[in-house]
Structure 1
Amino acid sequence: MTTKILSTLSIAFFLFFSLSGFAQSGPHKVSGKVMDEEMDAPLEFATVSIVNANDPADVTGVVTNSQGNFSIEVPEGTYNVIVEFISYETKRFNDRKVDSDLSLGTITLGLDSDSLDEVLVQAETTQVSVQLDKKIYNIGKDLTTAGGTVSDALNNVPSVSVDVEGGISLRGNQNVRILINGKPSAMAGFGDTNVLSQLPAEAIERVEVITSPSARYDAEGTAGILNIILRQKETLGFNGSVNLNLGHPDNAGLSANLNYRTNDFNIFTNIGWRYFDAPQNNFSDTEYLRRFNSDGEIIRPEYERIREERETERLNRNYNGNIGIEYFLTEQSSLTASLFYRYGEDEDETLNNSDRYNGGSLVEETLRRELQSEEDNSYQISINYQNKFNDEGHELTADFQFENDAEVQNTYINEDYISTDQDNPGAFQREEVYTEEDQKEYLIQADYVLPLGENARFEAGYRGNFENEVTDYRLQQEDLATGNLVTNDTLTNIFDYEENVNALYSQYGTKFGKFSFLLGLRLENTQLKGDIDSRLSDEELVAAFGFPIQTEFDNNYLGLFPTVNLIYELSSDGGEEENITVGYNRRINRPRGWYINPFPSRSSRTNVFQGNPNLQPAFASAFDIGYLKRWEKLTFTTSVYYQHETDSFERVEENTGQETTDGIDIIRTIPINLATNKRTGGELGILYNPADWLRLNSSFNFFQFETEGEFNGIDYGAKNTSWFARFSSKVTLPGAVDWQTNAFYRGPQENAQTKNEGIFSIDLALSKEILNESVTLSLNVRDLLNSRKRKSFTSTEFFNRESEFQWRQRQINFSVIYRFNQQKREQRRGSDEDFDDPGFEG
């Protein structure tokens, strides 16, 4: 890319200084204006070349002025006009006959990655780039996410879906790795995707959907990787934007993106504050079944049926800030340091109405109140060094990153009778739960790139991730005789967990003719180490939980992860119109600390989640074949994929054999290793721009998974087919008002125990630019029909349960964005072209 920049600048200056001598001989004028398509701003110093169609050696040209205008006189004849600008697409106007003055009007240029393995598809709502191992979706001007969060933005990305609880899936698989700017980050919540619901969508530049990751990336994530690239300004001087959001239910936010750039350094910062209330609703209707004991006697449940209605008010306040400086040491090297900080305060109040039935009659009604407060402090320190040895791509980068997250959570629980048919009902215990989590993570990384000739290169690198998480859980329950709170020794514990991953990789890529390939191999060593400090002995733990618990474990796994990615260009013009991609990679799914911790965490007195310290990592082999075809106004992409996973994770529910003080069975959810999980699917996407005022975008994903395996003598094998689809339209109305509609539908899904109904939702947005397009006003409604609810039916040998869950109600948001000094985009010296490497980098 650097070679192209120097070449283009040389041509530009040569044409500029030779312009006057040529202009004197030409009787006809060729003129126009060149604009940045995305920023809608003039492009200064764009190169306009005038080539004689009958004699290609006869070339002249001009560069645009500060307003993007150009004008040049040429003799009468037929010419090819070529408009170019550094890092932008090139536009051509062939066989233009000049026998009088010719005006080309306004010419818009979009960004161009100019890579041997990339095909760029332009659209205003999104820009789609297809590379050897990934697809890149620029969030662009997605109106429906204005005032929203990163999770909202991801839910509009093809192949990606965000469920009603904030869980992120890629092609229907939730084991997806989230990276920020190519690295694990505190901004992504150390793998907790719910944190993404606290970061503003305006911070995103683009999202890379990496379904066939190259060896450069972690092998974690059997579904693949979502790499979120944050915005970085390239404009010289002081510039930025301020964003104000207001909404209902209560939603208020203020954020600013500021940047000061000179030829020697760049200072950048992103700061934000947000307050919101996100009401949550949950309903369940559970029928407890009669069962037999070992002697064949019927065991009747205390209650035949329990209906629960939960309403939660969630008040959240969070602050986040990122400040950094990039210093250009030389023309070829730079050093970047940044600090990210996030602070959050949450207050959740939950009311749980429980109706209990026997013989079809209501026999008891209780109200459970739960008040939960949480404080979350996290920060991240990052240092990056980059050295380009030459202009051909020979470079070395090194990264160091330290992250710390401290979270304190207090929960107060009280339950009372509203009505009961008991003569002397036993009182409920008052409870207080205290949880403190402290997490630290270190990242050390080095990457080396060596070009081998014009169309090939070799890469190698090292990455080390070292993570420690300490969870202090303490449960205090009321002594009904004295009224005092007493520590529950069975559940109180301290869990000290370590995950250390060391990895080496190398890969080689090249292109010859229409064929490009990237071959890589990654070696990873994983250590999962845990130490549980319990107040009970091993014998007491067995008596309390019914099975042995490893209070100490130290598991090591060494794995080889090969990757193969291919592109074949079918079109005759160098692959700009049609190509086929083929990918293979091997991946790992490591159990996280929450999945391993054997001590229960409770969503209610009757439902607990319990980790499994014996959980082994899952390994998957994935194959992907993709096809892209682009016409002038229509782009079509499609792919088929297959994945075979061993020791796959599955969450199952079972009866613990224990009861609450009032005789209700306690149900446990636990993750287990099943034998295999096979996934087969296909997806397609269509981008259609029939007119300047209308843009359409749709995608469809169909998948089938089949699991096999059993646990505790129960067969949990299942086979399910499902699908999801999304549609987006953007219409420019009279008065330059943009109107966007997004619709999403996820088909029914089921596993061995649970069936989920389909979910349909629709978002609407209106947007208007004012004050010389420096201010954007947006109004959007997310979940217009208030229909994003998960309705499911669960059936086991102990109970049948119907449930409905709504994570967030319909939202209306108004957003104002003010931009200043963001009129011109320029490349910085001594730096990489953003994070989108023009070669084979993943």
Structure 2
Amino acid sequence: MKKSAYFALCALAPLMLATEAAAQESVLAAAPATVEELVVSGPIVFRNRTEDAVPTLSYDLEYFQRFEPLTAGDAMKRVPSVAFLSDILESDGARLRGLDPGYTQILINGERVPGAGVDRSFFVDRIPAELIERIEVVRSASANRSGDAMAGALNIVLRDGYSLDGGYLRAGGILLDDKRVRETVGGVFAGAVGPGRLLVGANIQGRRNPKRKMSYRYDEPGGKLVDIETQTDTRNGTDYSVNASYDVEMEGAKLQLTGYFVRTDRRQDEDSIEYRAGRVQPADLLTLNDNNVDILTDNWTVGAKYVREMLGGKTKFKVGYAVLDDDQDEVEEEYEYLRDSNPFPEDDRFTGDLTFTKLKDKEFSAEVSHTLPVAAGELEFGVSYVDKDRDTSITTDRNRITIPNAPAARPTLPGAYGPFLPEAGGLNAIEERRIDPYVMFSAEAERLKWQAGLRWETTETTITDETAPAAERRTKNDYKVLLPSASFRYSLSETDRLSVSAARTVRRPNFNYISPATLEAELGDNDFLGNPDLKPETAWGVDVGVERRLGSRGVAGVNVFYRSVKDLIEIANTGEEGSEGEGTFVLTPRNAGDGKVWGIEFDLSTPLTSVGLPNTGVFLNYSWLDSDVNDEFGSRRFNDQAKYVLNVGFIHDLPEWGAAFGATYRKQGDAYGRMVGEEVTTKYGADLEVFVEKRFGDRFVLRLTGSNLLDSSKDETFNKFNTIADQIDRSFDEYELESETAGPVFQLVGRMTF
């Protein structure tokens, strides 16, 4: 990877020199919008109607900004078909069309970014909303983009030097349900510097999420209550971000240099108490548990794009280098009291686990492409290269002490832990190399715009796992996938248009699935063995949509989609007996299944001018989602896919008072997931958010927002089993009902332009 870094620096150097040489011939683009227009006095903003052949929905930051989202994830909650399976007040792993985050391609400025998830997913709550210019929902694939977008892609476009002119400061406070206040402060500046335009932004965001959980555990549904658990879960920290871009337009050429850095510094503090038979009193105390996780995550990316007219067309050069550095230190300490038949303190003990998780994912990318005018349209061809190195280290130690007397204080110190040994599968390195050539043809007639292309993705993967048997520690897996795609858009009238897209996409295996280590009693009492020979899942998909322009600013659309997934990765039984003895097995992932995903998506975004309310804008999107896959227990939906996602809201502007107010309501359908040893049903309550703002002149706006005003809850039902036979026979190990709640959050923010 060092060579790749040197290559990146060498590639950037001549581009910077080219900027200097062409400075005298610089011609800047059309004037960007002023900060007053975007930040203070702008009109109600609706969904953009894009001109892409590939069906794409585009939402500017101003579409979300009046509700003051903290992160990109908070903003994505309001776009069609995006669901989350996160804790209350958290929006981390985006699930486009309700599918696992690994099926959704997250892009930043059109480029893939490495994520901490073993399913290759990127947590969108790591990107502050202040960095965003717009969010695009790309429903289908095209040949000039990476094909790992089975559910679609969410493209986070960051502000650049041409997105605004001037600067603004943002400051405020967030009042949480536990009466704590966290700070938010930031600023952005954009303007002409030298031959180009520079944008610089910085943001400090206090984060806090105090939640409460209650669990009731039974021996089976409708059976005897065994115990209950009360828990507080507080996540407290600070996010820091800096972003910059420098754009230069020259005669016959364009150059863009970009970079951003985001640091997440967070502590998760979970304290829980278990009581026997549901009696919440000291005499029935079973356990006290203290679980703390310190998280420090850095994401940073630098990149350059240079476009030049040459060779009868336009040639584009892109290079990028992205790093994710994630350190998590977790300690879980538990005092046992009445867990067994012997009362405390005769035969009970203290148990402590201290685990260090370190993950570093480095990704270098480069692409060269050329667009050439031909008789009927444009021919684009190119090749992209990706070099990924992912190193994981998970080491842990368990400390057990028999308690002779009731503990007056924690009996351990940090020095009491050690030595630290790697967990099974917790010491590995994955190297992935991709070379993806593509060709794409596009054309436009009077009413028709279309494109079609082929992408050939080749992947070479080397897995080194130090915890696997010596003969299996280093394995390789290579595969190649051909990905055709085609899209067209046809104007039925001046206001209506039809779009149709078809594409083949791919999903590469989870990192933890390809590591050749055995995890004992990982799935119930069954062992889990990784499979480095896994091939990727592939899917043929189609999207058909109709869109209508409503007046000069409104738009409404309906879209139907279908995906047919092949080589679905499912957990299979090897037939070998597991480490827990008779009735347990060694399970492994295999390309053993097929699946189908389908749904209908509707969205509306329009002012109510036709009914005499030009200063009122309404927003509505509803997605009905369904799927089918067969595992060894029968038919089910794709794991944890929400049945529907609903968003509805309005904004009303009072121009004569320099004020505005609005509200949004969001509801997500139930989700069900099934794997060996556990089945989970998740239900979310509705979420209501409101805002009120007052503008003072042209340069200052004060905004009060409230979220989670309905005290939304996350309710989960767990069916737990020890063996596959138990799960088939419905012989329960445990049946658990868990509810997580959090209170309202209020935010007061002022923005001043300069």
* CA distance 1:190–1:285, change in 2 (3 Å): closer
Corresponding position: 1:759 with 2:681: no
| SS of residue matched to 1:142 | helix
Q: Distance in 2 between matches of 1:524 and 1:577?
A: 38
Q: Distance in 2 between matches of 1:182 and 1:402?
A: 14
Q: Give the C-alpha shift of residue 397 in structure 1.
A: 1.4
Q: Deviations over 1:421-465 (max 9, x none)?
A: 514323132221112222211111122211225x61111111111
Q: Give the C-alpha shift of residue 601 in structure 1.
A: 9.5
Q: Give the C-alpha shift of residue 36 in structure 1.
A: 7.4
Match of 1:223 in 2: 151
Match of 2:13 in 1: none
For the 8 Å contact 1:144–1:782, the answer to whether it is kept is no
Q: Distance in 2 between matches of 1:459 and 1:417?
A: 66
Amino acid paired to 2:688: I
For the 8 Å contact 2:46–2:605, the answer to whether it is kept is no
* CA distance 1:635–1:345, change in 2 (3 Å): closer
Amino acid paired to 2:258: S
For the 8 Å contact 1:311–1:350, the answer to whether it is kept is yes
Count of aligned pairs between the two proteins: 670
Match of 1:686 in 2: 604
Q: Deviations over 1:563-621 (max 9, x none)?
A: 010112111xxxx4111111101111112324544669999999999684355421111
Q: Deviations over 1:78-122 (max 9, x none)?
A: xxxxxxxxxxxxxxxxxxxxxxxxxxxxxx9x9xxxxxxxxxxx9
For the 8 Å contact 1:731–1:738, the answer to whether it is kept is yes
For the 8 Å contact 1:623–1:643, the answer to whether it is kept is yes
For the 8 Å contact 1:674–1:707, the answer to whether it is kept is no
Match of 1:70 in 2: none
Q: Distance in 1 between matches of 2:745 and 2:521?
A: 26
Q: Distance in 1 between matches of 2:485 and 2:524?
A: 46
Q: What is the aligned counterpart of 2:466 among 524, 527, 533?
A: 533
Q: Distance in 2 between matches of 1:685 and 1:449?
A: 34
Corresponding position: 1:409 with 2:331: no
Q: What is the aligned counterpart of 1:773 among 698, 717, 720?
A: 698
1:439-458 equivalent positions in 2, closer than 5 A: 439-453=361-375, 456-458=377-379
Q: What is the aligned counterpart of 1:182 among 98, 103, 110?
A: 110
| SS of residue matched to 2:141 | coil
Q: Give the C-alpha shift of residue 475 in structure 1.
A: 0.9
Q: What is the aligned counterpart of 2:203 among 248, 255, 272?
A: 272
Corresponding position: 1:501 with 2:434: yes
Match of 1:473 in 2: 394
Q: Distance in 1 between matches of 2:651 and 2:522?
A: 45
Corresponding position: 1:624 with 2:546: no
For the 8 Å contact 1:220–1:589, the answer to whether it is kept is yes
Q: Distance in 1 between matches of 2:99 and 2:210?
A: 27
Corresponding position: 1:646 with 2:566: yes
* CA distance 1:222–1:410, change in 2 (3 Å): same
* CA distance 1:521–1:809, change in 2 (3 Å): farther
Q: Which sections of structure 1, spanning at least 5 residues, go unmatched?
A: 1-8, 13-34, 42-107, 111-121, 291-300, 540-549, 660-664, 821-842
* CA distance 1:721–1:379, change in 2 (3 Å): closer
Bigger mean CA offset, 340-349 vs 366-375: 340-349
Match of 1:284 in 2: 215
Q: What is the aligned counterpart of 2:510 among 567, 592, 600?
A: 592
Amino acid paired to 1:404: V
Identity, in percent, stands at 18
Match of 1:804 in 2: 738
For the 8 Å contact 2:628–2:635, the answer to whether it is kept is no
| SS of residue matched to 1:789 | strand
TM-score (norm 1): 0.71
* CA distance 1:786–1:340, change in 2 (3 Å): same
Match of 1:169 in 2: 95
Match of 1:196 in 2: 124
Q: Distance in 2 between matches of 1:470 and 1:793?
A: 33
1:341-380 equivalent positions in 2, closer than 5 A: 341-357=261-277, 365-380=286-301
Q: Distance in 1 between matches of 2:585 and 2:64?
A: 43
Q: Deviations over 1:177-220 (max 9, x none)?
A: 00001002369999876642233212211111111121111010
Q: What is the aligned counterpart of 1:394 among 313, 323, 333?
A: 313
* CA distance 1:695–1:479, change in 2 (3 Å): closer
Q: Distance in 2 between matches of 1:604 and 1:795?
A: 13
Match of 2:711 in 1: 786
Q: Which sections of structure 2, spanning at least 5 residues, go unmatched?
A: 1-26, 404-411, 722-726
Corresponding position: 1:208 with 2:130: no
Q: Distance in 1 between matches of 2:216 and 2:354?
A: 27
Which has more radius of gyration? 1
Q: Distance in 1 between matches of 2:520 and 2:200?
A: 40
RMSD of aligned Cα (Å): 4.1
Q: Give the C-alpha shift of residue 627 in structure 1.
A: 0.4
For the 8 Å contact 1:235–1:261, the answer to whether it is kept is no
* CA distance 1:431–1:189, change in 2 (3 Å): closer
Amino acid paired to 1:501: R
Corresponding position: 1:383 with 2:309: no
Q: Distance in 2 between matches of 1:658 and 1:360?
A: 36
Match of 1:73 in 2: none
Match of 1:297 in 2: none
* CA distance 1:784–1:653, change in 2 (3 Å): farther
Q: Give the C-alpha shift of residue 670 in structure 1.
A: 8.5
For the 8 Å contact 2:570–2:631, the answer to whether it is kept is no
Q: Give the C-alpha shift of residue 706 in structure 1.
A: 0.6
Match of 2:649 in 1: 728
Determine which structure has greater relative contact order: mean sequence separation of CA pairs < 8 Å that are 6+ residues apart, divided by chain length.
2
| SS of residue matched to 1:151 | helix
| SS of residue matched to 1:279 | strand
* CA distance 1:763–1:603, change in 2 (3 Å): farther
1:688-727 equivalent positions in 2, closer than 5 A: 688-690=606-608, 691-710=613-632, 714-715=633-634, 717-718=636-637, 722-727=643-648
* CA distance 1:201–1:170, change in 2 (3 Å): same
